[in-house]
Amino acid sequence: MSEALLKVEDLRTYFATEEGVVRAVDGISFEMRRGERRGVVGESGSGKSVTAMSIMGLIEPPAGDIVTGRIVFDGQNLLELSEDEMQSIRGGRIAMIFQDPMTALNPVYTIGDQLMETIVLHQKVSKAEAREIAIQALRDVQIPNAEHRLNDYPHQFSGGMRQRVMIAMGLSCSPDLLIADEPTTALDVTTQAQIMDLMLHLAEDRGTAVMLITHDLGVVAGFCDTVQVMYAGGIVESGTIDDIYHNPQHPYTWGLLGSMTRLDDATQHRLHSISGAPPSLIKLPEGCRFRPRCQFATDICRQVLPVLRPVGNAGQMAACHRSEELDLKALSVDGEVGAAASEVTS
């Protein structure tokens, strides 16, 4: 296996608020290979977007701070770079696309201006050459009439088209890593299918590594090679998509899969809901963070924060004290948890 493209080690990103310190990302470590498509899944507040922003160097002190950790990209620790050096990596070698393309695009500049700005900034080309690259970039994302649409403003594009422009912008400098933060969450399902299909083809053709941040386990199943599941600022499980979907080792992953409605499920059985809600990131529970919602919790879960360690299949990792003794796969997801829905913690 070749050298990792991205290596995140014990990253901790905290935010100071009036109520206290929010531990948004609290000690996560993971690696990405070149060309890997990795899903980062979790519910709101699990730390997925803050992970992305930390990698992009978009955490602004004093509000937020990367307290410890290393983010090694292609051999360089990004946290030791100056703002100028970071500037040349951001948008060039690592690009990012956001959930809401309307707020990510500047409404008073044309699509062409905004595309060419990135290109001129990162590549030594003339304005005319930049224009050619921009037109090609729009063609690559299948925008018809690219040379004319270059002069249009963002509001003249539909939601799906704007997200195509964002992808064109993200890929215009041939990055090694593309971070896509909920790229299709704001879109309709047929448009989502178009966009995911486009991203898959472009990433495959160019060998671009993609970190796909999403709450939708369905989208990940069709796009990614690997997944990491996040909960309350930590990674609770990681592995290949096959491991995670067919052999989950962490009760949270298992519960998440069981609480999803599926298009191909003809039964109308009760969903396996996970009781309660995620903890406050200011006052995290002692021991395992999932413990208050976990139906399998025992004394050790109350006392010791479990670390991410190899369990299950080769390469699979989970942060659960009881992974070995629990046979989650064998526990049928329906029928198992009856009254979970009516339990409410406050």
Partner 1 sequence: MTDATSAYQQHIGEAAALPENVMLRVNHLVKEFPITRGVFFKKQVGAVQAVSDISFEIRKGETLGLVGESGCGKSTTARCVLRLLEPTGGDVYFRTGEDDHIVNIATADKDTLREIRREMQIVFQDPYASLNPMMTVASIVAEPLVVHDVGTKEERLERVKELLQVVGLSPEHANRYPHEFSGGQRQRIGVARALALNPSFMVLDEPVSALDVSIQAQVLNLMQDLQEELGLTYLFIAHDLSVVRHISDRVAVMYLGKIAELADRDALYEEPMHPYTHALLSAVPIPDPDIEAKRSRILLEGDIPSPANPPSGCRFHTRCPKAQEGVCDVDVPELRELEPDHWVACHFPEVKKVF
Return residues touching partner 1 (CB under 8 A): 43-44, 158, 160-161, 188-194, 196-197, 215-222, 241-242, 245-246, 255-266, 268, 270-275, 277, 340-344, 346
280: tokens are 């406050």
1 vs 189 by CB, closer to partner 1? 189
Q: 177 or 241: whose CB is closer to partner 1?
A: 241
310 SS3 class = strand
Q: Cα–Cα distance between 319 and 309 in angstroms, integer?
A: 6
Is the Cβ of residue 134 or residue 224 nearer to partner 1 in the bound state?
A: 224
9 or 225, CB closer to partner 1?
Answer: 225
- Compute the least distance from the CB of residue 74 to partner 1, in Å: 29
Q: How far is the CB of 38 from partner 1 (least distance, A)?
A: 14
DSSP one-letter code for 307: P
Query: Residue 341: helix, strand or coil by DSSP?
Result: helix
Say how many Å lie between the first and final Cα of the chain, rounded: 47
**Smallest separation, CB 287 to partner 1 (Å):** 20
Instruction: Output the CA torsion 240→242→245→251 (10° steps).
Output: -50
210 close to 198: Cβ distance less than 8 angstroms: no
By beta-carbon proximity to partner 1, the closer residue of 207 and 218 is 218
Q: Indicate the residue among 148 and 270 with the shorter CB distance to partner 1.
A: 270
Report the C-alpha gap between 288 and 89 in whole angstroms. Answer: 36
Shortest reach from residue 43's CB to partner 1, in Å: 4
Q: What is the dihedral of CA 156, 160, 165, 168, to 10 degrees?
A: -160
Specify the residue, 15 or 252, whose C-beta has the smaller distance to partner 1.
252
Give backbone dihedrals phi and psi of 85, rounded to 5 degrees, phi first: -65, -40
Report residue 93 as tokens: 């070698």
- Min dist. Cβ of residue 93 to partner 1 (A): 29
Nearer to partner 1, 11 or 22 (CB): 22
3-state helix, strand, coil in the chain (%, to 5): 35, 20, 45
User: CB of 111 within 8 A of CB of 71?
Assistant: no
DSSP string covering 252-298:
HHHHHHHT---TT----PPP-PPPS-PPPSSSPPSS-TTGGG-TT--
